[in-house]
Every structure is written in structure tokens, then in C-alpha cells.
């Protein structure tokens, strides 16, 4: 045995997992003494919690003012939609609950609609988490609880009974726990590169979901830059193309604004691996438009940039404003001190690459007129499942799938042996988080009802149907 045998490779503090001495599994088990798994059932409204309307108003700060009524209208559609836009409010609530102190790179907004399909560099479809605006290093439990609560709400909107809704949350946590145990048993490299493939549904017993996923995949295969450009642009006399207004979702921008976005693609190129540059050099910028996106993201600045190659074939890039994670204010008091963020777009990109096995090969970041942005492909065969529109008998299958995907994503930054040791073999954690999810869903329904009353009373402006 050499003098270096058994030594650990140094770990970057705050980004990768904290070093675990001794048996990681035993260390995980030991955490149960300090934070029993049953404690995660608890939810109590924290003192000083803002009411729903004030929370929405506070989260609208810094957004494009004329677009915030669209955001409010989307959140007012149903309680699941409210939760989608209320990541900051839930972070406030979770900060008062139990945490083990074990950190992971979080999605930060791991609700059930933030999982989906997208194309890899060869056009093959992958399925994974697909929204990282709020990503940050923090308590792994927060992602799990947000996912579980969102499944209860999505199930209720879909018309499922309470037993089915609770079962979806229970099954999601169970799949999370069992996937961690599987990853903990694998060789480190195999666990690291594990991805969602055609065997996933069989492994997690989600066969009833197969037909829905295949229909989504078929749509995703056609969801390309070329298809978007064909619908959203028109030819111009010089042989190029330009965007066509489709208000209020898509609008052309003035020459100065367009020039600022186009100029920002130069610095963006410097954030990409060098082997991508010859590819992008074969495209020319033809137009820029502003496009409204998402529910939680409505009101942030988001552009689409039309590029054409020598044959006139389009590539569309999305240049999306990156704001500080809404989870960040609540982490220091819990013992989590994420690294100083020099650029919010870089934070989003780094978090996405940390959590996904396969990421967009054109993912990067830039700055537009002093504001940080992330840059990614737009419509690179993206597809998603609306969990609130699933058949009742598919909701628990969807819960198992998303729980497994979340565990795999967390295992890139937290030692799966440590988490598996804490979560254990029994369903004690599953039952606790499912109970939390039902209670928190009730709270969210009350928050949504308060928002609807405020909209009807004219206290806060909302634009519906957009």
C-alpha cells in the first residue's frame, strides 16, 4: 500500500458535496437522531409570513411592469399554477421547518411541471429536470417537499381524489429514496453517469405513463428552431427573415434594444467550449424579439434571437434574464453559505450542468445592458407533461418518475450513500413528506383563494387567458 492510499481528492467547498469521513451510510443514519424522519411531516405557518397578495407583489419587484398582470393571471388560474409562481413564498415557509444540514445542488423550483424532454447533441431525447432559474446549493429536503406538494395540487386540479393525490406524493418520495439506494450501491462512475433511459419506466413501475410520454416525445421531436421560425417569422426582401409580432407573447424590439442583445452574443461565445465556436461561426444574426415565458418567469426579460446558416436554416437562441435565486435569503441562517455569485447567468448554467447528465451544448451566459442573462437553445426538441392534465391513474406513475429523476440529480452533488443512509429502507420518510405535502397543498389553496379575491376586488391587476 502506498503512502497516498485512501486519501480523498479535494472537494470544492459549497459546490460539490462536503467530504464525508468514515461510513457515509452510517453518517446518514446518525442524522436521524438529530432530525427524525417523522419530523418532516410538520408544517406550521411561520411568524411574519406575508399574505399571498403581498408575496406576489414582492416577487414582481424588478420585473417588466406591464407584464406582471399576465404573471398574476397565470398564477390565479388554479392552486397548482399559484404554487408554480410562488417559489419564494415556499422557501420562506420551508426555512422554518426541519433540515438535516446535508446540502445538494438544488433545482430550487422542483415542482412537477419542471421536468421534461429535450434533445441531446445528436437529437436523441432525454428526460430530466429542465428549469434551473432558482438553482443554488441548499437543503436537499426543499426540492423533495416542493415536488411532493406540487403533485398533490396537480392531482387535485386534475380531479383526482385525496387518496390518489397523497399516493402521488408518497410514491414520489419513495422513488427518490429507492433511487438513492440504487445509486449508492453502484460504482461511483456508473452512478454519476446514470441517466433516464428506456428502462426507467420499468424500474420505477410507471408503465401506465408510457403512452403519454410517447405522445409528448412525438411532439418534442418536431419542436425545433425550424418549426418555431416557420410559425413566428416572415421573409424579408434581402432574403433573410424577421420575427412577426404575436402580442402580448412575442413582440419585435427597437433597433437599439436588438443591437444590445446581439452584441451580448460576443461575450456569450467566450463562455462556451472552444469546439462550439466553429459551429456558431456558420450562423448570422437576423432578428431579435422579446418573448414572454413561463409562469414564475413572466416579467423577466427574455429574448429570442434568430440566426440563419448559409442555407437559410434557422437556429433560435433564448437570452433569458437571470435573477438571484429566491432561496438565497433563507440559506445562511440554516448553515448554508453558497459561494459569492459573480454572475447570475453563470450560476444558472453551472447549476444546470451540475444536476443534468446531458445538457444543452450551447448553454452559456452573458450580460445585456448591465443585467445578467443565460443563453440556451430555444425549442431544441423540448417537450413537457402537464401534470394537472394527466389521467387520474397516471399521477402516481408521474410522481415515481419525477422522484427518481430528482434523486439522480441530487446525487451529483450530495453523496447518495449519505442521503440513502438517512432516508433508509422503510417508508417513514415517504409518509412524513406526503403528510407535509397534503398540509402544504391546503395552505396553497388558501393562498390561491386569497389571490383570486384580490384580483376580483381590483387590489392587484391580472390579465387572464394569456
139-151 pLDDT tens trace: 999 999 999 999 9
Q: Which candidate, 72, 49, 50, places its Cα nearest to that of 60?
A: 72
Whether the predicted pLDDT of 453 surpasses 90 = yes
- The burial class, CB within 10 Å (0-12 / 13-18 / 19+), for 406 is buried
The sheet carrying 125-129 orders its strands as 125-129, 115-119, 383-384
pLDDT in tens, 38-49: 999 999 988 889
pLDDT at 462: 95
Query: What cell was used for 156?
Result: 387535485
User: Rounded to whole angstroms, how far apart are CA atoms 325 and 133?
Assistant: 7
pLDDT at 15: 39
pLDDT at 226: 87
Asked if residue 441 lies in contact with residue 158, where contact means CB atoms within 8 angstroms, the answer is no
Q: Using 50, 70 and 90 to split pLDDT, how confident is the model at 209?
A: low
pLDDT at 187: 87
Distances (CA, A) of 390 to 211, 296, 444, 466: 11, 21, 20, 22
Q: Using 50, 70 and 90 to split pLDDT, how confident is the model at 13?
A: very low
pLDDT in tens, 41-98: 999 988 889 999 999 999 999 999 999 999 999 999 999 999 999 999 999 999 999 9
Query: What cell was used for 339?
Result: 459561494
**Angle in degrees, CA 259, 263, 268, rounded to 5:** 145
pLDDT at 294: 80
Distances (CA, A) of 241 to 230, 285, 315, 380: 10, 10, 12, 20
Whether the predicted pLDDT of 380 surpasses 80 = no
Asked if residue 86 lies in contact with residue 75, where contact means CB atoms within 8 angstroms, the answer is yes
Query: What cell was used for 149?
Result: 406538494
pTM over 0.75? The answer is yes
The DSSP string of 43-102 is --PPTTPPPHHHHHHHHTTTS-GGGHHHHHHHHTT-HHHHHHH-HHHHHHHHTTS---S-
pLDDT at 222: 81
Work out the percent of the chain whose per-residue pLDDT is above 90: 75
User: Rounded to whole angstroms, how far apart are CA atoms 260 and 253?
Assistant: 11
pLDDT in tens, 284-303: 999 999 999 888 889 899 99
Mean pLDDT of 332-351: 91
Q: Name residue, grid cell 418518475.
A: 401
Q: Name residue, grid cell 418532516.
A: 40
Amino acid at each position: 500500500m502506498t503512502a497516498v492510499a485512501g486519501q480523498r481528492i479535494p472537494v470544492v467547498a459549497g459546490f460539490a458535496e462536503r467530504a464525508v469521513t468514515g461510513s457515509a451510510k452510517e453518517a446518514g443514519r446518525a442524522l436521524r437522531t438529530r432530525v427524525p424522519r417523522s419530523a418532516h411531516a410538520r408544517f406550521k405557518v411561520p411568524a411574519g409570513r406575508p399574505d399571498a397578495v403581498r408575496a406576489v407583489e414582492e416577487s414582481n419587484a424588478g420585473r417588466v411592469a406591464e407584464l406582471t398582470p399576465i404573471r398574476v393571471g397565470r398564477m390565479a388560474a388554479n392552486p397548482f399554477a399559484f404554487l408554480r409562481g410562488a417559489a419564494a413564498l415556499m422557501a420562506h415557509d420551508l426555512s422554518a421547518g426541519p433540515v438535516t444540514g446535508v446540502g445538494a445542488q438544488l433545482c430550487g423550483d422542483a415542482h412537477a411541471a419542471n421536468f421534461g424532454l429535450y434533445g441531446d447533441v445528436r437529437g436523441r431525447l432525454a428526460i430530466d429536470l429542465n428549469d434551473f432559474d432558482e438553482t443554488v446549493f441548499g437543503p436537499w429536503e426543499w426540492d423533495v417537499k416542493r415536488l411532493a406538494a406540487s403533485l398533490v395540487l396537480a392531482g387535485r386540479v386534475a380531479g383526482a381524489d385525496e387518496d390518489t393525490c397523497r399516493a402521488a406524493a408518497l410514491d414520489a418520495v419513495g422513488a427518490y429514496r429507492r433511487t438513492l439506494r440504487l445509486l449508492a450501491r453502484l460504482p461511483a462512475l456508473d452512478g454519476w453517469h446514470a441517466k433516464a433511459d428506456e428502462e426507467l419506466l420499468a424500474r420505477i413501475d410507471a408503465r401506465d405513463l408510457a403512452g403519454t410520454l410517447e405522445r409528448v416525445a412525438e411532439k418534442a421531436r418536431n419542436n425545433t428552431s425550424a418549426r418555431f421560425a416557420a410559425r413566428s417569422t416572415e421573409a424579408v426582401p434581402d432574403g433573410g427573415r424577421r420575427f412577426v409580432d404575436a402580442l402580448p407573447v412575442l413582440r419585435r424590439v427597437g433597433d437599439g434594444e436588438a443591437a444590445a442583445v446581439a452584441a451580448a452574443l460576443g461575450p456569450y461565445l467566450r463562455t462556451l467550449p472552444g469546439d462550439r465556436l466553429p459551429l456558431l461561426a456558420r450562423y448570422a444574426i437576423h432578428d431579435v424579439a422579446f418573448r414572454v415565458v413561463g409562469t414564475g418567469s413572466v416579467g423577466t426579460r427574455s429574448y429570442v434571437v434568430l440566426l440563419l446558416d448559409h442555407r437559410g436554416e434557422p437556429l433560435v437562441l433564448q437570452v433569458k434574464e437571470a435573477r438571484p435565486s429566491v432561496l438565497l435569503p433563507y440559506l445562511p441562517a440554516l448553515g448554508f453559505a453558497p459561494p459569492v455569485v459573480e454572475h447570475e447567468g453563470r450560476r444558472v448554467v453551472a447549476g444546470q450542468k451540475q444536476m443534468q447528465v446531458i445538457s444543452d451544448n450551447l448553454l452559456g451566459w452573458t450580460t445585456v445592458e448591465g443585467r445578467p442573462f443565460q443563453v440556451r437553445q430555444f425549442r431544441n426538441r423540448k417537450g413537457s407533461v402537464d401534470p394537472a392534465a394527466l389521467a387520474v391513474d397516471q399521477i402516481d406513475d408521474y410522481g415515481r418518475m419525477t422522484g427518481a429523476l430528482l434523486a439522480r440529480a441530487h446525487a451529483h452533488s450530495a453523496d447518495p450513500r449519505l442521503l440513502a443512509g438517512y432516508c433508509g429502507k422503510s417508508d417513514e420518510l415517504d409518509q412524513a413528506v406526503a403528510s407535509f405535502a397534503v398540509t402544504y397543498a391546503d395552505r396553497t389553496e388558501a393562498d390561491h383563494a386569497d389571490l383570486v379575491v384580490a384580483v376580483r376586488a381590483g387590489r392587484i391587476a391580472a390579465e387572464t387567458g394569456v
